[in-house]
A and B are shown apart, each in its own frame.
Chain A
Amino acid sequence: MDWTWFHRLASPPYIYRLAATLTPWFAWPAGLLIAAGLYGGLVLAPPDYQQGDGFRIIYVHAPSAWLSLMIYSVMATAAAVGLIWRMKVAHAAAASCAGIGAWFTVVSLVTGMLWGKPMWGTYWVWDPRLTAQLILLFLYLGYMGLRSGIEDTARADRASAVLAIVGVVNIPIIRFSVEWWNSIHQAPSVMKMDRPSMPAEMLIPLLTMMVGFTLYFAAIMLVRLRAEILRRERSASWAREVVAS
């Protein structure tokens, strides 16, 4: 088997240039999809028969909750690749994910509280889904704290990678919490095997927002990845070339 593609993926200058090239290809579709999703969700979708216009919080809540879980999975996978193959670029990718993931975990919690108040009568309950999502925030913050607490980058990479990988157990707990326990949180309406329990005029804007947010994350993460690679490769000759232009 030809492994040159794998070696190229481990090469900082190659990844730096690839990230720079790819960023606008994610950013522009992300902007367009999020704008379309907002219009569809706030204007075109009909009010819910039970929750009225209050249900429209779903168009920001579900995409942020999805990002919080997806980013963690990307981060843990990159950390594992970095640990197993001693690939610095993979560690840089994992480090680039954490801050974005923490932000969208906060957004999912806050938008969930704002949705919970009118529908459940309370901002917060110590429900399995809500509690596991709060633990996800602490995992992100712990990862970032651990990294910033270790001066030596290689050691910070290894220690934080172990934390990220161990924390992965929380992801299926969040995902299946509403099925395993009696949760106040509603069952998934999109991410399930049978037909989604939503009419198309509600569902299409939601899927549009989720794809838009995913592409947005890719664009932001690639910009952070370039910063992180440059920070690590400050003395390399290719870096001289890149920052001079």
Chain B
Amino acid sequence: MDTFTLIALSGLGLGALYFLLASGLSLIFGLMRVLSFAHGAFLTVAAFASWTVLRHAAAPSLGLLLVAVLVSSVAAGILALVTELTIIRPLKGKVLEQLLATAGLGLALVALLAAIWGPDEHMIPQPGWVTSTTQVAGAPIPNTRFLLIGAAAVTMVVIQACLSRTRAGLVIRAGVENAEMVAALGIDVKRSFTAVFTAGGMLAGLGGALAGSYYGGVSPYLGDQMLIFAFIVLIIGGLGSVQGALIAAVVLGLAQSLANYYVQNGVGDILVVALLVVTLLVRPQGLLGQKDRLV
């Protein structure tokens, strides 16, 4: 039972990471129809930013971790902003080219990180609280799990609040349905595109900093592995649906961790892919997606 609690909460933590990446991708896809292959690299860049902040501290404080998280998010946000302005926007309307360009960018960024800091993993020092455990139902749970789950929950609430209570959110919700009509009402949708792409980058950045805590280190290939699972979360949840991404992230994180532990290492990963295939065959639009999205 103890083990189960530990594995389940670890699975939720993993799901939280997937969600941080997938929620941004989902918003971006919903509004712009762009599936960004560069977001894995954004996450990795952010994790390196976090490492840069924390690497020299012997025993970093929680405050320094917070600084690292902020720096990471901002770094990834700026990267996403520049990407949107220089690559995505000039390719306006060419969804395939946009997707391919993000793939090329992701490739180049990861290689650049490997060139600068080498291909191997770097340990990221963590505050004592993060590495210690809390007893839940008799099981010692590493606090990173709570950190991740908390961050994902806060992210979800903030996204929902922004979408439902601000004018920018209103424009985004309308733009997800029909960006053309939003423009015909006199609204500059391009600005929403830029804002959403940047916000998605910041969420990837948040994910990057926290992934560094979860795994205790960072390598240039951290984000790409996560990106594949984030894509799967995105498709199962329904492209463009943040709630769908949340549900799918929880289910996949749990299923993957439990199967990897209780059946055989690797089986959980394959189970996730199998779930995706089943979803694609049975309900191609995903849990909460709309059918016409998958044109």
Whether chain B is bound by chain A comes out as: no
